[in-house]
Amino acid sequence: MSSSGEPLRADAERNRERILTTARRLYATHGLDVSMACVAREAGVGKATLSRRFATRDELITAVFADRMDAYAAAVAVALADPDPWRGFTGYVQAVCSMQAADRGFADVLTMAFPTAKALEARRDEAYHGFTELIARAKATGRLRADFTAEDLVILLMANAGVVAATQDAAPGTWRRLVGQMLRAYAAPGADLPPLDPGPTPTALYRAMIRLARSRDDEAPQ
């Protein structure tokens, strides 16, 4: 058995899956600021083992979020297939922001560039080009403002990532209010729009503000 190498390969695969499962959990909860050392410790493997499986942080991020990037690209195809381009546009914006809300790590991935992560960046480029086509179609209906650009979505994703991080515990779902209001800003006069989410209660939003202030105090130099 040892000469064939089968036990070693099985052990290596178990370590890889343990690392991915742990990184996925940590990134989803804490975002991409989690260190490689923390991932190794939580996965119960040594730093050398982690480095053998994933030589760089970008390699680990690519492996963890491969399926989510596939879903991100697929969401554009779904939107383009909608016979109503404006409905496809609004549905796509809501879908992508929902993906961010479900996973803090993915919220970060969509607002950061990873030049060495070729597969991840290829999927991002695919989604970007599909979205530019969706923009053109939605503008042609007269319901999307003529001055909307693809970069406006990037700005929204950055804002949404911040809202998700600040409110996910005390006021979850706040992001829906942000997205609804932004769709109203993007719409041309008279365009039909999805119902506007009522947003968080004053008490829930206040709790989120307190939590955010405390987290920043914890991070401040002592």
Comparing 178 with 122, the larger pLDDT belongs to: 178
The confidence band for 23, taking pLDDT boundaries of 50, 70 and 90, is very high
Opening angle at CA 207, ends 32 and 184, nearest 5:
75
Q: What is the Cα–Cα distance from 28 to 157, expressed in whole angstroms?
A: 16
- Where do the domains of the chain lie? 6-64, 66-219
The confidence band for 2, taking pLDDT boundaries of 50, 70 and 90, is very low
Q: Is the pLDDT of residue 6 over 60?
A: no
Q: What is the DSSP string of 177-208?
A: HHHHHHHHHHBPTT---PPPP----HHHHHHH
CA dist 178 → 82, 160, 200 (Å): 24, 7, 11
CA dist 114 → 7, 59, 97, 103, 127 (Å): 34, 10, 20, 18, 15
Q: What is the Cα–Cα distance from 89 to 111, expressed in whole angstroms?
A: 19
**Highest CATH level, class, for 6-64:** mainly alpha
Q: Is the pLDDT of residue 3 over 60?
A: no
Q: Residues 166-175: pLDDT tens digits?
A: 998 899 999 9
Q: What is the Cα–Cα distance from 99 to 195, expressed in whole angstroms?
A: 19
Q: Residues 31-86: pLDDT tens digits?
A: 888 999 999 999 999 999 999 889 899 999 999 998 888 998 899 999 999 999 99
Fold: same for 6-64 and 66-219: no
- pLDDT, residue 222, reads 37
Please state whether the predicted TM-score (pTM) of the whole model is above 0.95. Answer: no
Domain 66-219, CATH? 1.10.357
| Helices 85-102, 66-81: crossing angle, 10 deg rounding | 160
List of long-range contacts for 209-212, beta carbons under 8 Å, 24+ apart: 209/166, 210/170, 211/166, 211/169, 211/170, 212/166
The confidence band for 216, taking pLDDT boundaries of 50, 70 and 90, is low
